[in-house]
């Protein structure tokens, strides 16, 4: 169930109990289990809604009391210790259950692999500190304990975790670099999409650097000052150079692989040992093969 809020400054548990068939007690229970999100983020019952907030209640979990089951899958584990894991997520794999998909997500694979995952984000997002889109590949950090989860979440929030993405754009970008500073909010015409808009938006800043130019494409590095939903994809489309093969923000027809966007590098201070950590993840085969095919 998705609801677009039309009220302001009302606790979400009250708002949902007033606007659905669920009691306030039931809503609070769902929130505590991580089954309610606002703008794709897990919230607390004390959260106060804003106009145009996108509230999602995972109905399948409510109606069927769905349990998130472990599923055996091949995980590309870049790094692991007693506190955290770094996973190379393939394009096409959803990070956590939701919207009817409860059996084939990264979380299902993590639950099969280990019993040591933080539970701060509830039953459907164990270990998940941050997320990347289904068709975005590359590095994602997973917390094994609640203490580590809290530290990492704070590091992400306060920009102490540095992430670099590689993106292939349609069109030849002439400048060597650019900074896109444009606020992002829900698209007024399509609530499933994000857009650059001054209305009910949040600031978003993307630093882009050209790595290579091709006849009709440009390979760029992107570093984010902010972490808005679909930020790189929205900003690249906004400046007229959409991410190649993007099924949502590129007007050209796309293939099954989805957008050519890869979480390439991540560095941060280990939450327990305080060691400086840096991870680099090569492009997926489909991405690299396409670059090879268009190289002059």
- Would residue 133 show up in a list of annotated catalytic residues for this protein? yes
Three-state SS letters, the chain: CEEECCCCCEEHHHHHHHHCCCCHHHHHHHHHCCCEEECCEECCCCCEECCCCEEEECHHHHHHCCCCCCCCCCCCEEEECCCEEEEEECCCCECCCECCECCCEHHHHHHHHCCCCCCCCCCCCCCECCCCCCCCEEEEEEECCHHHHHHHHHHHHCCCCEEEEEEEEECCCCCCEEEEECCEEECCCCCCCEEECCCCCECCEEEEEEEEECCCEEEEEEEECCCCCCHHHHHHHHCCCCECCCCCCCCCCCCCCCCCEEEEEEEEECCCCCCEEEEECCCCHHHHHHHHHHCC
235: alpha, beta or left? (left if phi > 0; alpha if psi -120 to 50): alpha
Phi, psi of 56 (to 5 degrees): -120, 125
List the catalytic residue out of 13, 53, 61, 133. 133
Distance CA 139, CA 76 (A): 10
Active-site residues, by number, are 133
């Amino acid at each position: 169930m998705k609801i677009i809020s039309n009220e302001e400054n009302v606790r979400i548990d009250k708002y949902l109990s007033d606007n659905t068939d669920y009691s306030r007690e039931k809503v609070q229970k769902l929130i505590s289990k991580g089954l309610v999100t606002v703008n794709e983020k897990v919230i607390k019952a004390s959260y106060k809604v804003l106009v145009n907030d996108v509230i999602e209640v995972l109905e399948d979990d409510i109606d069927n009391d769905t349990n998130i089951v472990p599923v055996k899958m091949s995980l590309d584990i870049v790094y692991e210790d007693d506190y955290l894991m770094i996973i190379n997520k393939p394009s096409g794999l959803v990070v956590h259950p939701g919207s009817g998909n409860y059996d084939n997500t990264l979380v299902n694979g993590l639950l099969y692999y280990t019993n040591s995952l933080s539970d701060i984000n509830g039953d459907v997002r164990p270990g998940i500190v941050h997320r990347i889109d289904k068709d975005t590949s590359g590095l994602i950090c997973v917390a094994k304990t609640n203490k580590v989860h809290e530290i990492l979440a704070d590091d992400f929030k306060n920009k102490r975790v540095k992430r670099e993405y590689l993106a292939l754009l349609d069109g030849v970008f002439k400048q060597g670099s650019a900074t896109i500073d444009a606020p992002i909010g829900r698209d007024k015409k399509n609530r499933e999409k994000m857009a650059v808009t001054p209305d009910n938006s949040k600031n978003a800043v993307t630093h882009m650097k050209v790595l290579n130019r091709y006849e009709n494409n440009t390979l760029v590095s992107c570093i984010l000052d902010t972490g808005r939903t679909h930020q790189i994809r929205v900003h690249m489309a906004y400046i007229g150079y959409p991410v190649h093969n993007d099924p949502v923000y590129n007007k050209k027809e796309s293939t099954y692989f989805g957008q050519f966007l890869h979480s390439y590098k991540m560095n941060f201070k280990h939450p327990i040992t305080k060691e400086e950590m840096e991870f680099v993840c090569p492009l997926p085969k489909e991405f690299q093969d396409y670059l090879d095919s268009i190289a002059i």
